[in-house]
Structure 1
Amino acid sequence: MRNPLIQAAENSIQELVEKILEKFPEAAYTIDRNGKNIFHIAVEQKDEKMYEFLKRNVRRDGMVEALDNDGNTILHLATKKGNSPRVHLGHLNQMAWDAYWLKRIWYDSPTHFLYLQNTAGKTPNEIFEENHSDLRVKAEKALKDMNNGLMLFSALIGTVNYAAIFTIPGGIDQDRKSTNFSHPTLYHSNHETDLLLFLWYTGGGLFSSFVALVTMVAIQLSRFCSNDFYMALPIRYVVALTAIFVSTVFTTNACFKAYDIMDIKFNVDVLYGTGIFRVEPCLLRHHIPDSELHNSLENVINFLAELTNIGHSHCALTEGKCTRQLNQKECQCYFINWREGR
């Protein structure tokens, strides 16, 4: 009959392991038929939660330093390819996880274990390279494929921001007699602050996209050895993604700031559908007396009706609003619900 503690550890049933060790603490020092103790099994299964539980609750007393029947140390067993039974990963994440797990166990092991050979004459690093040669190639391909798409995206964002810096809203003052000749037209105007923010946004977007592009070029030129998947490649990839996100945010803010400078308004209530055509709002930038306002709106309705061959009897002005600014006779008028009758 097999040892139930060993079976529970092999199947990553941590609750059962906890109950057995609670009732029979001495069971932790048993080994299986291959000479592996419970620490060896948890490391071989790459079960991080089980391993941390055993470190906290079991007196190791040489268990980590023990060898199995094949002369494998706990570091040899950590080189096995595969993932924790609690996690399913792709090629790239799997390679990074395996490299991390080997380093994690090495920190808890005696230093000389990294160079100790088993009965087959292999060190942990040699076994790791042998077990992960195909996975490393697949992980390299997956990372390069993602990196190629992100490089194109960052290059496009950088190009857009570079062009925006030299085509600012309002343009450049071309009047040689002007004191602001060759300067942005909107300098020394009400939109000067907005223009400076626009330039800051485009500059930030350009710099961030440049950082992302340089980082991704560094990824493409990497050696893609096993150790690179532990720290170098993940850090570079995170930096590249962060820089792309920042550049996207800056570019979006610059776009909306340009709309604000140019006084472009979005009309979210314009719907194109069968039998319905809504126009809202309509800005009448004319000095219209209040007595003529309603007649002017009716004239606009009639004009739109003639353009679309819809009879005047099928059009209705359902709402009219006018707000007057101080010291101005400029009205902002809204009309909605221009419907085709059925």
Structure 2
Amino acid sequence: MQEVESIVPEWCKEAKNRHGDTPYEVLSNSHKELVKEGAEWMKKTSESFTVVGALIVTILFAAAFTLPGGNDQNTGFPMFLRKRSFMIFIISDAVSFFAASTSVLMFLGILTSRFAQEDFLESLPRKLIIGLSTLFISIAAMMVSFSAALLITLQDQWWAIIPIIMMASIPVALFVWLQFPLLVEIFVSTYAPRIFNRKMKPWL
């Protein structure tokens, strides 16, 4: 509708049909059920991902204070503070925690939305894109954190470390395989080029 509005004369935007409805009212009346179905889908999707994000936040918050190897009794610093794998663990844990927190906030933003018709144009899809993207980053960083903790714990036992790290990549790959098509579809439908050429002049 906005595409058509950009090229028609101003008077056409408020013109009424034989039933006395403006173009906007016709659009609203014909899309009531679609808006309702879209709102229900967004709510259910957001509720599911909010639970996942909240679980990740809880686990990572606990992991930040339950460090591999514990703390040195004399100094109070972590035992493996000087190891590179320990720094990878801390950084990836922090990245995953903040990404999951952002994801939960985005999905909560969707749940508290008014779900008006115009919100489906850009506001709700943008929140869903950010929520899904940050949740993916969180899961990927969590797997990196898990792998780094294994490196610290198992030391040089590569025969056990390598297979476990390879298995840790499976959840990330599954998430990408299941949710990436949805993410691409939402992104394209929201930010794809317009129907009409931007240089097209309004109709006289």
User: Does TM, normalized by the shorter one, top 0.5?
Assistant: yes
* TMscore range, shorter length: 0.7 to 0.9
Q: Supply the distance in 2 between the matched residues of 1:195 and 1:114 (Cα, whole angstroms).
A: 62
1:253 aligns with: 144
Structure with greater contact order relative to length (CA < 8 Å, sep ≥ 6): 2
Which protein has the bigger strand share?
A: 1
1:156 matches 2:50: no
Give aligned-pair identity as a percent. 24
- Cα deviation for residue 196 of structure 1 reads 1.2
Offset at 1:226? Answer: 0.6
Aligned to 1:152, the other structure's residue is in SS state helix
- Structure 2 vs 1, CA of residues 241 and 111 (structure 1 numbering), >3 Å: closer, same or farther? farther
Distance 1:106 1:172, change over 3 A: same
Alignment of 1:1-342 (within 5 A): 102-174=1-73, 178=74, 181-188=75-82, 191=83, 193-263=84-154, 265-266=160-161
Gaps of 5+ in 1: 1-101, 269-342
**Could you tell me which amino acid in structure 1 is paired with residue 53 of structure 2?**
S
Cross-structure match for 2:192 = none
* CA spacing shift, 1:234–1:267, aligned 2, 3 Å: closer
Which amino acid is 1:160 matched to? I
Measured in 2, the distance between the counterparts of 1:167 and 1:111 equals 64
RMSD of aligned Cα (Å): 1.5
Question: Could you report, residue by residue, the CA deviation over 1:267-310 in whole angstroms, capped at 9, with x for unpaired residues?
Answer: 86xxxxxxxxxxxxxxxxxxxxxxxxxxxxxxxxxxxxxxxxxx
Q: Structure 2: state its 5+ residue gaps.
A: 164-204
Amino acid at match of 2:86: L
CA contact (8 A) 2:56 2:100 kept: yes
Report deviation, 1:194: 1.5
Paired residues of 2:150 and 2:161 also in contact (CA < 8 A):
no
Distance 2:43 2:19 in 1: 35
Aligned length: 159
1:56-101 per-residue CA deviation (whole Å, 9 max, x = no partner) reads: xxxxxxxxxxxxxxxxxxxxxxxxxxxxxxxxxxxxxxxxxxxxxx
Partner SS state of residue 165, structure 1:
helix
The runs of at least 4 aligned residues of structure 1 exceeding 6 Å deviation read none
Kindly indicate which of the two structures has a greater share of residues assigned to helix.
Answer: 2
TM superposition shift of 1:266:
4.4
Classify 1:230/1:172 alpha carbon distance in 2 versus 1 (closer, same or farther; 3 Å).
Answer: same
Q: CA deviation at 1:165?
A: 0.5
Change (3 A) 1:244 1:168: same
The answer to whether the 8 A contact 2:96-2:141 is kept is: yes
Structure 1 Cα separation of the partners of residues 72 and 105 of structure 2: 35
Query: How far apart, CA to CA, are the structure 2 residues paired with 1:227 and 1:111?
Result: 20
Distance (whole Å) between structure 2 residues aligned to residue 262 and residue 120 of structure 1: 74
SS at match of 2:6: helix
- TM-score, normalised to structure 2's length? 0.73
Report the TM-score when normalising by structure 1: 0.45
Q: Hey, what's the Cα distance between the residues in 1 that align with 2:52 and 2:100?
A: 9
